[in-house]
Chains A and B, each alone.
Chain A
Amino acid sequence: MEYRLIPLAATGILLAGISVDADDAIIQQGRQTFSTYCAPCHGPEGAGLLAPNLTDAEVLHGESLAEITKIIGEGVPARSMPPWGGVMDDATIEATAHYVMSIMDDNLPSGMVATPDTTVTPFPFGSAEEPYVLRTFMPTMGVGDEVFPHHGNGMATPKYDAKGGTFNIEKMQDPIDGVPGGVTVNFGEALSYCFDTTECRLLYTWQGGFMDMTDYWGAGQGGQRKKFGYVPTVLGNMVWRADGPAEFNGTPRFRGYRKVEGAPEFFYEIGDYQITLLVTPSDEPGVAHCYYTVTDSSGQKRSFSRFLHQNIEEDSS
C-alpha cells in the first residue's frame, strides 16, 4: 500500500513548488487527489455521479473544514463512502478537504445518475380548500402539565453507555418535551392547530407558517435528523393554548375522524359523553372556529360553537 502514498505526497510537493499561493497549491494538490480517488463516484467536477453532488446546497455531513476532513478520513461505510484514513496521510486528506470546500458553492447541476427528480421538502403545508393533516410527535408549546392527566410520567433514568453496555447512575438522562399522540392540521397561513388523541382535547393553535419537520424527517429527502429531538418546530405565531382541567370528566377514548370538506371532524368519548369536534378557520385570521356536538348517556344531543381568540402574550416561540 505504501507505494501509493509516496507519489501522492510527491505530487503535493511538486505543485507547491510551482505555485505562487500556498493555499492555491494545497487546493491544486487536493484537486489531483480528487480526480484520482473521488471522481469515480462524485464525478470529475464533484457534481455527483454514483455519489452525491458536493457542489450543491444539500450537505449531509457538515460544511466546515473539520467536518469534511473527518468525513473523508472516516467515510460513511454504511453508505458506500469509503474511509480514506488508511489510504492517505493526514495532509493529503486535508488538502482534498480544502479542494472540496473550494467547489462547495459552485452549484453545478447534479450529474447523479438514476436519482429521480423530487420536490420533497421538510416544510409541508395545506390550504383552506385542502387542509393538511399530519400525525406526528409534537412539541407541547408550553401547555401545562394539568392538561395531560391521562398521560404517563416519563422519568429521568440512568444514562446508557453504549460502549461499556452499562448504566451510569451518576449521569441521569432526562425526558424531553413532546406530545406522543397528536394530530396536527394546517389550513395555510390562516390557521394551524394541534389536537391530542390521548386527552381528546385541542392543545393549541397558531397562524403564519406551519412546521419545519427537519428534526424528525431530515433535510430534503433524509439525513440531518436531530438526535434526542425528533420533534417538529412550529413556525409562526402562537394564538391560543389550552389550560386548566378538561371540560368533561371521565376517561377519554379517541375513535377517529371523518373529513368534512377536507377538514377532520374528530369523534371521541369522554366518560359517558360522545363528542365530535370540527375545527376550521374563522373570518378572523388565526382565530379558530370550533364546532362541538355532545351526546350524553341518555341520548340527548346538543351542539355549540366556540371561537379561540388570542390567549397568549406576544411570544413567537
Chain B
Amino acid sequence: MNRRKIINGLLILALATGLNAESYRVEAINMPGDVAPEVGDLDFTPEGELVVSLRRHGILMAKPNANPAAFDWRVFAADSLHNPTGLDVVSGSEVLVSQMQELTRITDTDGDGVADLYENVADDWGVTGNYHESIAITRDGGDGWYLAIGTASHNGPTFYHTRGEFAPYGRTGRNFAAGPWKGWIVHADAEGNITPFAKGFRAHNGIIRDPQGRIWATDNQGDWRGTSPLYHVEKDNFYGHPSSLIWDKNFTTNVFKDPLQLYIDDWDAYEAHRTPAAVEFPHGLMSNSPSEPIVIPTGNAFGPFAGQMLVGDIAGPRITRVMVEEVSGVMQGACVTLISGDIGGGNNRLVFSPDDSQLYVGQTFRGWTRNSADGLKRVSYTGETPFEMQNISITKTGFRLTFTKPVDESTLSRLSHYKAQSYWYKSHHNYGSPQMDVTELSVTSAQVSADGRTVNLTIPGIQPKRIVQFDLGEGLVAADGSTIGNPTICYTVRKLR
C-alpha cells in the first residue's frame, strides 16, 4: 500500500467529520481546566445530573447543558480515588464506586453538596500492586453488584506485600491472576459478601446487566483472546483465560495445581472446557479494545436500533453496534461500526441521557498514552435515519439481512452486492491470533421481501465456530439514493439453526 495514502488518510481522519455525520453529531464536552479528564465511569443521577469519576480527581457532577462548553461542574467527591472505573449512582448525594482495592459508598451526609463519608462496602479480593487490575461493576437487579475484576499485566510488577494471598502459579503468564478473584466476575451482596460467579476473564473492562437480566462482559484481545470478545456471562462458566483458574480450588485440587501450564500443554482439553464468545470483534476491523457495552433504549430517540448494544473502543476512534439472537440455546450475533472518526479514541464508558437521545462517552487511555484520548464526548441523534444494515439473523440456509431503509428490488437481489467470507481466531497462550482458514463464501440466491427492506441470502457451507464477514457492495444504494454507511458486518456463528 502507498504510504502517502495512509498519511493523507490520517489527516483526513483528523479533519473530516464522520461518515454518519448527518445522523449522529459528536460534540466535545468541556471539563474544568484543573482536572485531567481521564474518565473512569459515567452515570446519571435520578435528578438528571451527569456523574463522572476521574482517575485522579474523584467525582464531578453537572446538569447537562445544550452548550457543550457550558456545563456547570461541581465537585462531589474531592478525594483522589484509586482507578475508580465503576459507578453506581443512587442519588445526587450517594454514589457507589469501585476502586482497585474497594467498593466504596460515598455520601454527602450534611447536604453541602460535597461528600464527607467514604464507607468500605466490599473489599474481599486481592491487590498485587500491578497497575492493570481495574474493576468494572453493574447492579445485580437487586441490592447487590457484579464486579468484573481484571488480571494484572506482565508489563508491571507485583509488590512484596500484597493485599490478599499471593499465588505463585497465578503469577506466570502474560496477563496473570496472582491475587484472589483476578480474572473473575464475582457477586457482592449489600453486606459486601463476595461469592464467585464466573471465571476465565482477562481484561473485562465492561460489564452490564441488560433489561432481560442477562449479564454481558467484553474482554480484550491478547493472550487467550485471539480477538476481542463479548461474552454472555452465565454462572460458573469458564470463559477461556486459564490464569483465573488458580482461584478455583476445585480445579487446582482435582484437575491440576497449575492451570495455565495444563492448558498451554493440552489445547483440546482447554477448548472443551471454555465457553466461547457470543460475538467476536475482528481485531483492527471492528474493535481493538472494547469497553463497556450499553443497551440502546426502546423508542427511536437514538435511531432505528433500539434494544441492540453499543460498545466503545479504547484503542480506536469508534463505537460499535452489536446485535444478538438466541440460536439453538446459545446467544450469538454480529457487530458493525456505528460511529467513527471524530469521536476519537479512548472510548471507555457509555451512558444515555435521561431522555435517551444522547450518548455520553467517557474517554481515557488511563494515562498510558497522551492526553488527547481523554475527555468527555456527546453523540446526538439528529433524526436523520442512517442507511445501515439494521439487523441480521442466521437462517437454515444462510442469513437474513434487514436494512433501515427500503431498497429497489433489482438492487437488493443482486448477488454481486454480497461478498462473504469466513474465518476464525485461535484462543491460545500467544498474543492475539491471525485469521485462520479464511474461506470465500458464495451467495447463491437473494430473496427480497415485499417492503424492500429484507433480503434472505442463501449461503452454502456455513460452519459453526466461524465468523462470517459480509462486505456490502458500493452499489447497494437505498431507494432514496443514500449509500450504505458501514458496509462491513461480522457475524459470530457458534451454532447453526
Contacts and interface: CB of A to CB of B under 8 A. Distances in A.
A50 to B, nearest CB: 5
A259 B116 contact: yes
A1 interface: yes
Interface string A222-238: 11010111100000000
Contacts of B6: 82
Contact of A176 (B120, B157, B171, B374): B157
B326 interface: no
A274 interface: no
Contacts of B14: 41, 50, 80
A175 B120 contact: no
B488 interface: no
B302 to A, nearest CB: 25
Interface in B166-222: 166, 168, 171-174, 178-179
Interface string A132-153: 1111110010000100100111
Interface of B, helix, strand, loop or mixed by DSSP: loop
B457 to A, nearest CB: 36
B374 A222 contact: yes
B162 A134 contact: no
A114 interface: yes
Interface of A, helix, strand, loop or mixed by DSSP: loop
Contact of B161 (A116, A117, A118, A148): A148
Interface stretch (A8-16, A27-35, A103-111, A177-185): A177-185
Contacts of A154: 128-129, 158-162, 166, 178
Contacts of B116: 258-259
A134 B80 contact: yes
A307 interface: no
B174 A160 contact: yes
B159 A222 contact: no
Interface of B: 2-4, 6-7, 10-11, 13-15, 28, 30-31, 33-36, 38, 55-56, 78-82, 99, 101-102, 104-105, 109, 115-120, 123, 126-129, 131, 154-166, 168, 171-174, 178-179, 223, 315, 365, 367-372, 374, 429-431
25 contacts: A41-B11, A50-B15, A78-B369, A80-B14, A87-B3, A117-B33, A133-B79, A133-B80, A134-B79, A135-B79, A135-B82, A152-B164, A152-B166, A160-B172, A175-B159, A177-B159, A180-B128, A180-B161, A180-B163, A181-B102, A197-B120, A217-B36, A221-B370, A223-B370, A256-B118
Interface of A: 1, 4, 40-41, 50, 52, 60, 76, 78-80, 82, 86-87, 114-120, 124, 130, 132-137, 140, 145, 148, 151-155, 157-158, 160, 162, 165, 167, 173-181, 197-198, 213, 216-218, 220-223, 225, 227-230, 254-259, 264
